[in-house]
Each structure stands twice: as C-alpha cells, then as structure tokens.
Amino acid sequence: MLTEEQAGTIQEPNEHKLIIALPGSGKTFTFISLAEAILKMNDNHSVLLVTFTNAAAGEMKQRIEKRLGKQMARRTKSATFASLMMQQFKQISRGRKPVIGAEQYTFVKRALASLHMNTDKIEEWLTTIEQMGRDLNYASDETPSSQVFDRYIDILNDDNRYDLNLMARELIHGMKTGEVKPYKHTHLLVDEFQDTDAIQLEWVSCIGEVGAGGEGAKIAVVGDDDQSIYSWRGSLGFEAFQQFKERFNASAYVLSRCFRCSPAILKSAKGFIENNEDRLDKEMMSAVADEGKVTKVPIPPEFISKYLMKKSMADELEIKKDKGKKQSKSDDKKFENYRFVAEKIQDSQKGGWAVLARTNKQLDQMERAFTELGIKVLRIGGKSIFDNVHAVSMVNLFLSLIKDKAASELVSGLGWIGESEVNLKRIYTESRRSGFASISQLGDSPWSPVTSYLQTIAQLAKQCREQDAEKYIDKWAQVMRRIIKKMDDKEKVLQETILDIIINILKGSKGELIARALNLVDKTQGVKSSKAKDDSADFVVLSTFNSSKGLEWENVWLIDMDAGVIPMLKDDISLAAIEEERRLVYVAMTRAERELYLSYRESEESVFIEEIDGVIGGI
C-alpha cells in the first residue's frame, strides 16, 4: 500500500515529473505504481522504463510482471540506456560492430602509435577520449588531445566499429533530423536519474520532444542528487535535475521517509551530507522504530591482535630451538587495523555484517584478516579478470585464428601486439573477404614477424582434427608466451596469469577448435559478480563504497576512515571533488539498517569523522 507521500507522486500520471527519493524510501515500488496508473489511465498508453544495469532492469521487469500480470506488463519495456540506444542505433549502424569495455584500450593505443606519441599513459588517454566523446558540441582543433581523439575516431570508422559515445552522438542527431525513429511508448520512466550524463540526458529529452507520432512522451525521472557518485564518468547529479525541471517545466516531488535506516543512522547521514553546497535541500525522516546507533571507533596504536600474539609466541619458540636464528621484523603490524575490525565482528556474535571500504586494495587486506580467523567472506561488485585489455585481446586472437572472417576480432588482437596501422587496415579489408589464413602480404609495408607467424598458426587451424585440438592449443600458447615476453609491458605477471586461465578453459572444453573458441568467448564474456543480499546470510560481505550502492545490511562497518585516505582526492582538491567524496561516504552510511561503525587510527581520523554525529566507543 502506498503512503500518502508516495500516492501524491502518482496522482497525476500524465505529466512530466521529477521525484527526489531518499535511500530506502520505496522508489521502485512507487515507480511501478506510477507505471500501473499510466497503463490503467488509457488502454493506448505504454511505458518504457530505463535504468543503468542489466540487473536493475531485470529486477524491474520481474516486479512489474508480478504486480501487473503478464498481459498488462506486455505494454511495458524495461532495459538499460545502453541496450535501448544500441537497439535504436541499428537503424543507422550500417553493419558496424561496437567496441565495449577493455577492447577500447587497443584502439586508443593504435591512435597514439599512429601519431608517434608515447603509449605509456593509455589509461589517462582513455579518460580524455571518454570526456571528449561525451561532448555533444565537440569541435576539432590542433591540440594533441583533439588530434588523438580524431585519429581514434578515424580508426573506429576504418574498422567499421563504434564506441558508445560515437553511437550516442549519431543517434541523437538522427532523432533530431528524423532519420531515426523514436520508441513508440507514450511514457518514459528513468531510474537513478542522478547518474545520467549529458548524452543520456539529451537522449531522454529527445524522446520527450519527438516521441510517438511526433508528440513527445511524458517523462518521469526518479533519483537522489545526494547519491550521485559517478562524476568521473560524466554523471550530472544535481545539475541533471535542474536541467530537466527547466527544460520540461516538470512537477517536483520528494519521498522523504526512509524505511531502511534507523533514526540514529539517518540523522547522522543527514547532518553529514548537509555540509555539501551543491544539493537539493530535503527533509529526511526515518520510519524505523528501533533507534539504532552510530559508533566511531578509534583503533589504538598499541592494539595487538590474537593472531599476532600467537605468531609472536611461535616465533619465540623457533628462536629457542635455533639459537643462531634471529627474530624477523614482521610487517604484520601494518595489518593490525584490519585484524582489529575482524576480531570485533567475530566477538560481536551478530550476523548480517557488511564491511565497506574506499578501495579494493583495502578489501584485500580485510579479506586476509577474516581468513586468518576462519570467517567466510563474500566479495561483491569487483571486476572480473576478463574485463581487461589483455584478456579481451588474447580471446580475440584465438577466436580470429580459428573462425573465418572474424576481421574485427583479428585487428583488435593484432593491434594489441603492436602491428602497424597501415597493415591493420589492409588485413581488416582482406580478411573480411577471404579470412586471415588465405590473405597475402601486399603493399610496401611488411607484416611484423609475429603477425606472419600467427597467420601460419591460422593455416594450421584449418587442418587441425578434433583429436589434435590440445596440441594446437599448446602451440598457440607457446606463441602467446613469446609475445608476452617481448612486449614492453609492466603487467607481464597478469598477462601470464590470464593466459594460463584461457588455456585451462580451452583444454577443459570438448569438441573441435571452433567449439572450444566459442565456449571460451561465452565463458569469458559471461563472468559476473554476485550482488544478491540473500547470498550473504552466512558470510561477512565485503564491498567498496561504490559497489554497495542499492544494497543494504543490518550492520555496516566503514573501515580506514583516516586522514589522507578519506576523502581520496589525489591531485584534485576542488570543492566538487570533496563533495563527491562526501556523497560516496553518505551512500556507504545509508546502507546500514540498524548499526553503523566507522573505524580509524586513533588521532589520525579523517575530517569527515568530525562531521559525522555518533558516539565514540567500541562494539
């Protein structure tokens, strides 16, 4: 049943509306209720629901079918921004293939190499190209950044590829000129609106202005500017709500009652986030009866864990047995902060714990501390090892040597090993026609010896029988090990680890080479991280602040709330950067239902600790 506040947001279904929703305020339930009201208002109404992740879209679809029944649910569609835009882009894609994730690294590297520029800082160039790609008003100039970006776009076009930003810009242009047909839904509902970037906001606006039959769709957006934590990838946060309200004269609503956080936690989080200047002022009220608690926990420098005491005793016994042996100075002391948290959680005899940290490196240490105590942990939200340029490139190389005319994958892999841009263009064009194994080395620029040898390996694949598949895999692996050895790369250990995993997958598969190659693609592209709360019942959950968004636990512990760690500013000490870090901590705080703990080294607490209302003590 809707609360009075929730009911007020859906009273007028047929309007542009902006809904600000606190953490745990029932926004998904309210949004589905709005969809139901829209559909019942008119049999000709249909609803397009948009969010950012496949998991969120899938959950939305299931909840709609359960609530409305399958027949009415057929008039709705739940999907991500990316999937909706890619589907729509097919109208003008002209057979081009997308470049998604780690594969983009190779195209940036090729752009830099073709301009004879240093390729050591590709990660920084990726960020620059992403920023320029999101600029709807981009104009080429003579700056190095513009030259690299233009070259990158040229290479994408030459290879018949596109990245998501290039797709979005072309798509928006096509919608405005009428070349691209809009979705025919009469209403558009956008979740987590604070995370939209400029391109996504423009796409939403186009649907509102050129919707079905030339009459724009009615748009409702929901989100929370205080939970905007993705400015590094262009999300507009507070500004997205401002622009939407002004552009569509939208009615504004607030869901101010939180059904998740206890009063003590919500009060503390509210007082903390109100230190930000660029935000929408809003009421925050807890609907939870239990008062709950917020505890700030200083870790004394003299703390010695049970584990270290046992280890010290064992070391002393070893020294007594061997008088010539010197007691080593262990570096275990630096892990004591993590052991402190692990021991306190173990001693609490409570369940429903989540430990949240700013970085995955901190979680690595926390996982070690729990493992020492025999406590099971569940890591969520981490990246798969296959979401990596080396993995993508190796998989692409194997597939392209086996599968005929896999030109895009072939060029992606050869670009990774450093083949020249001139040759990549020719190889792409010729291999599309007849396959890599059959093409000749034409032109003035000879292939690199590695590319020539890989063609020999591709030719061997044509003659390989099923019973000889493992021998072929061994031969391919030898070539890859030589490539890794010769590459000027700082991640050789990671590359070798990935190669070993790929070899194990290939050898663990059955059938001919093509079947094994396709199984490899399926396994490496299908790796996903678990985010289900139900799976965490017998574990302590470990998550970064970012990955915890959208989740909740009874007891939450935020670790390493130390000066120099939080806020994590690096080279950016602007007000905007500080406010983003504060929003990130706010998101982490509001994952807690009943009890919240924040630990730090005694006398070295973050400035954020001073802003957070809570008692100082233990557990």
Cis previous bond, 144, omega within 30: no
For residue 493, the enclosing domain spans 389-525
Q: What's the structural domain count of the chain? A: 4
Burial class (CB in 10 A: 0-12, 13-18, 19+), 235: buried
Residue 45 is predicted with a pLDDT of: 95
605 vs 54: which has the higher pLDDT: 605
Q: Is the pLDDT of residue 530 over 70?
A: no
User: What is the rounded average pLDDT for all residues in the chain?
Assistant: 88
Let me know if 217 is exposed, middle or buried by CB neighbors in 10 A (0-12, 13-18, 19+). buried
Q: Crossing angle of helices 122-133/144-158, nearest 10°? A: 80
pLDDT for 616: 82
Task: Assess whether 513 and 424 both reside in one domain.
Answer: yes
Q: Are residues 400 and 521 in the same domain?
A: yes
Residues 307 and 375 in one domain: yes
Please tell me the predicted confidence (pLDDT) of residue 118: 87
Q: Mark whether 424 and 506 lie in a shared domain.
A: yes
Residue 485, token pair as written in the block: 């050895």
How does DSSP assign 347-378, residue by residue? Answer: HHT---EEEEESSHHHHHHHHHHHHHTT--EE
**pLDDT of the residue at 328:** 41
- Answer whether residue 517 shows pLDDT above 70: yes
| Closest CA relative to residue 389, chosen from 487, 293, 314 | 487
* 18 lies in the same domain as 68: yes
* Cα separation, 488 vs 494, whole angstroms: 13
Question: Residue 142: inside a domain, yes or no?
Answer: yes
Torsion of CA 83, 85, 88, 90, to 10 degrees: -80
Q: Which residue has the tokens 């630990």?
A: 599
d(CA 202, CA 424): 35
Among the candidates 120, 137, 159, a domain finishes at: 159
pLDDT at 254 (0 to 100)? 95
Q: What is the pLDDT of residue 351?
A: 86
452 and 358 together in one domain:
no
**How far, in whole angstroms, is CA 375 from its chain's centroid?**
27
What is the predicted pLDDT for the residue at 533?
A: 45
Measured between its terminal Cα atoms, the distance across the chain in Å is: 37
Residue 336 maps to which CATH number?
3.40.50.300
Mean pLDDT of the 82-94 span: 93
Instruction: Judge whether 275 lies within some domain.
Output: no
Joined together, the tokens standing for residue 375 give 């406590």
The radius of gyration computed from the CA coordinates of the chain, to the nearest angstrom, equals 28
Does the pLDDT value for residue 334 go beyond 90? no
Euclidean distance between CA atoms 472 and 596, whole angstroms: 56
Supply 131's token pair.
Answer: 């920023």
**Do 405 and 444 have their domain in common?**
yes
Please check whether residue 172 is in contact with residue 80, taking contact to mean a CB–CB distance below 8 angstroms.
Answer: no
Q: Is residue 272 part of a domain?
A: no
* Alpha-carbon gap, residue 595 to 262, rounded angstroms: 8
SS3 category, 96: coil
Summarised one tens digit per residue, pLDDT across range 131-146 is 899 888 889 998 999 9
pLDDT of residue 210: 65
**What is the DSSP secondary-structure string of 195-255?**
G--HHHHHHHHHHHHH-GGGSPPEEEEEE-GGG---GGGT--THHHHHHHHHHHT-EEEEE
Per-range mean pLDDT, top range of 279-283, 389-393, 522-526: 279-283
Residues 77 and 152 in one domain: no
Residue 295 has phi, psi (to 5 degrees) of -125, 125
Same domain, 210 and 79: yes
Q: Of 525, 543, 561, which closes a domain?
A: 525
What pLDDT, on a 0 to 100 scale, did the predictor assign at position 330?
Answer: 44
Q: What is the pLDDT of residues 62-77, one digit of tens each?
A: 889 988 898 999 999 9
Q: Is 268 domain-assigned?
A: no
- Within a domain: residue 458? yes
Say which range, 15-29, 179-193, 471-485, 524-538, has the weakest mean pLDDT.
Answer: 524-538
Range in 156-170, 220-234, 297-311 with the lowest mean pLDDT: 297-311
**In this structure, is residue 411 part of a structural domain?**
yes
Do 599 and 458 share a structural domain? no
CA distance 282 to 257: 11
In a domain, 235, yes or no: yes
pLDDT in tens, 350-372: 888 999 999 988 998 898 888 88
Using DSSP's 3-state secondary structure scheme, residue 592 falls into strand
Distance CA 261, CA 267 (A): 9
Is the pLDDT at 262 greater than 90? The verdict is: yes
Q: What are the residues whose beta carbons fall under 8 Å from the beta carbon of 143, sequence distance 6 or more?
A: none
Residues 508 and 400 placed together within one structural domain of the fold: yes
Read off the pLDDT of residues 278-301 as tens digits, 9 standing for 90 and up: 899 999 999 999 999 999 999 999
Residues 435 and 497 in one domain: yes
Among 479, 507, 525, the domain boundary falls at 525
Instruction: For residue 455, name the pLDDT band (cuts at 50, 70, 90).
Output: very high
pLDDT band at 596 (very low <50, low <70, confident <90, very high): very high
Percent of the chain with pLDDT over 90: 60
φ and ψ of 357, to 5 deg: -140, 160
**pLDDT tens digits, residue range 90-131?**
999 999 999 987 889 999 999 999 999 988 888 889 989 998
Neighbours of 426 (CB within 10 A): 17
484 part of a folded domain? yes
Long-range contacts of 357-361 (CB under 8 A, 24+ apart): 357/542, 357/543, 357/544, 357/545, 357/558, 357/559, 357/560, 358/544, 358/545, 358/560, 358/565, 358/566, 358/568, 358/584, 359/544, 359/568, 360/544
- d(C-alpha 65, C-alpha 524), whole Å: 31
